[in-house]
């Protein structure tokens, strides 16, 4: 089952997992040490991240390491890009308004 990538980032625990595996591949046990949840709960989050193709499991010996598929993060970035121009425009308008107010006060 292919899930939507935004399901992956909707949960704060999954965002935390993404941040951790962005730095290095980690096992579910190692990830669970960073959260106050069970290893089984971490595994459920990892399953969702894997279904969203944001994480890839890699077997090394007896352990399974999960690593981030950083290229999949581009999908999120592309969606956000449509709003960047809007945000930048609003900040420019705010800067102009603040400059006008400061000029009036002088």
Give me the tens of pLDDT residue by residue for the chain, a chain 106 residues long: 567 899 889 999 999 999 999 999 999 999 999 999 999 999 999 999 999 999 999 999 999 999 999 999 998 999 999 898 888 888 899 999 999 999 888 8
User: Any idea how long the chain is?
Assistant: 106
Confidence (pLDDT) at 85: 85
Confidence (pLDDT) at 2: 65
Give a yes or no: residue 17 inside a domain.
yes
Instruction: State the Cα–Cα distance between residues 21 and 48, nearest whole angstrom.
Output: 14
Give a yes or no: residue 82 inside a domain.
no
Give a yes or no: residue 20 inside a domain.
yes
Side-chain-side CA neighbours of 54 within 13 Å: the count stands at 26
CATH number at residue 53: 1.10.10.10
Q: Which domain holds residue 32?
A: 5-70
What's the structural domain count of the chain? 1
Confidence (pLDDT) at 27: 97
Burial 30-47 (b: 16+ CB within 10 A, else e): bbbeebeeeeeebeebbe
Give a yes or no: residue 105 inside a domain.
no
Confidence (pLDDT) at 1: 56
């Amino acid at each position: 089952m292919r899930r939507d990538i935004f399901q992956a980032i909707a949960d704060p625990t999954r965002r935390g997992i993404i941040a951790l595996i962005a730095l290095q591949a980690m096992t579910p046990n190692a990830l669970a040490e960073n959260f106050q949840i069970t290893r089984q709960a971490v595994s459920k989050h990892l399953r969702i991240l894997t279904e969203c193709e944001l994480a890839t499991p890699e077997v090394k010996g007896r352990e399974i390491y999960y690593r981030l598929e950083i290229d999949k993060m581009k999908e999120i970035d592309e969606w956000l890009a449509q709003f960047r121009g809007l945000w930048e425009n609003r900040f420019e308008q705010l800067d102009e308004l603040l400059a006008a107010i400061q000029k009036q006060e002088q």
